């Protein structure tokens, strides 16, 4: 059974420009490392999903041979 991980809440600090638009964010390095780890895990899961759920389309041997080598016999 998988256990749900409890994630600590990240408390960012925002930097605003002179029009009060958020332009930068500051987080603790520890939180940054956690985010990078989570992104890497997500990337791995996406790669696994894509590799295991691709629909493989079978094509006849003659068609494959023609695509690879042209009409040469």
Q: What global pTM score does this model have?
A: 0.53
Split at pLDDT 50, 70, 90, the class of 55 is: low
Structure tokens at 72: 């040469």
Is the model more confident about 22 or about 58? 22
Return the number of other C-beta atoms located less than 10 Å from residue 65's C-beta: 13
* Per-residue pLDDT at 67: 85
Do 12 and 23 touch, CB atoms closer than 8 A? no
* Per-residue pLDDT at 60: 86
Q: What is the dihedral of CA 49, 51, 53, 55, to 10 degrees?
A: 160
Split at pLDDT 50, 70, 90, the class of 3 is: low
Write down the mean pLDDT value for the chain. Answer: 84
CA 8 vs CA 40, 46, 60: distances in Å: 18, 24, 54
Q: Assign 57 to helix, strand or coil.
A: coil
Mean pLDDT value across residues 25-35: 94
């Amino acid at each position: 059974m998988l256990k749900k991980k409890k994630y600590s809440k990240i408390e960012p600090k925002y930097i605003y420009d002179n029009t009060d638009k958020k332009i930068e964010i500051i987080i603790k390095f520890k939180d940054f490392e956690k985010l990078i780890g989570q992104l890497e895990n997500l990337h791995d899961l996406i790669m696994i999903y894509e590799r295991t759920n691709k629909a493989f389309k079978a094509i006849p041997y003659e068609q494959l041979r023609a695509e690879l080598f042209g009409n040469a016999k």
